């Protein structure tokens, strides 16, 4: 089964499968549980720069040059397994607020499972985690680093959220 997700969003799919399997149910029930979360999980990331995304071949050189000159920080999401541009901001703080606005619009005060991720930015990630914890009704809240590959592709300073609402 393809999770169609990345990072902790993919982790939530795997956790759903593992938790269901621990109940001793059939493989088809485990797959159904994983697919249910796969269809509901969200991923948002604010990059500190477009330089690393260019290096990974995900944006054209001219877009990276202009983005760097204007100090633009892209906000990315995933949809059906494809990384997508969701917006751009001029500072990390605005990027964090934009991501939180997107989460607010999607979940409100409903119970939510959430993970805060970072690429070599543990202090900023802990601050983001405190904001998330104070504002949202988190059933579970994780803090994790990106894998080295994600850190390479997204760049130092990237912050991200993965989340899905309870039933």
What does the domain layout of the chain look like in residue ranges?
43-165
Query: Given its phi and psi angles, is residue 89 left (phi above 0), alpha (psi -120 to 50 degrees) or beta?
Result: beta
pTM of the model: 0.86
Percent above pLDDT 70 for the chain: 84
Q: Phi then psi for 56, rounded to 5 degrees?
A: -85, -5
The per-residue pLDDT for 153 is: 65
Q: Looking at the predicted structure, is the pLDDT value of residue 52 above 80?
A: no
The per-residue pLDDT for 49 is: 64
Please name the fold of domain 43-165.
Answer: Hypothetical Protein Tm841; Chain: A;domain 3 (3.30.1180)
Residues 56 and 98 sit within 8 Å (Cβ to Cβ): no
**Best CA proximity match to 88, nearest among 42, 47, 43:** 47
């Amino acid at each position: 089964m393809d999770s169609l997700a990345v990072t902790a969003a993919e982790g939530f799919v795997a956790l759903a499968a593992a938790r269901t399997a621990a109940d001793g149910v059939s493989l088809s029930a485990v797959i159904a549980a994983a697919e249910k979360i796969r269809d509901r999980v969200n991923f948002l990331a604010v990059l500190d720069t477009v330089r690393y995304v260019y290096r990974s071949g995900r944006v054209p050189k001219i877009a990276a040059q202009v983005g760097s000159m204007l100090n633009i920080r892209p906000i990315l999401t995933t949809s059906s397994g494809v990384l997508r541009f969701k917006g751009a901001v001029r500072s990390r703080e605005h990027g964090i607020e934009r991501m939180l606005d997107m989460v607010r619009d999607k979940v409100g005060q409903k119970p939510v499972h959430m993970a805060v991720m970072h690429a070599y930015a543990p202090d900023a990630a802990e601050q983001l985690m405190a904001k998330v914890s104070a504002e949202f009704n988190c059933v579970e809240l994780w803090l994790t680093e990106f894998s080295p590959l994600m850190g390479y592709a997204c760049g130092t300073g990237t912050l991200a959220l993965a989340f899905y609402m309870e039933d």
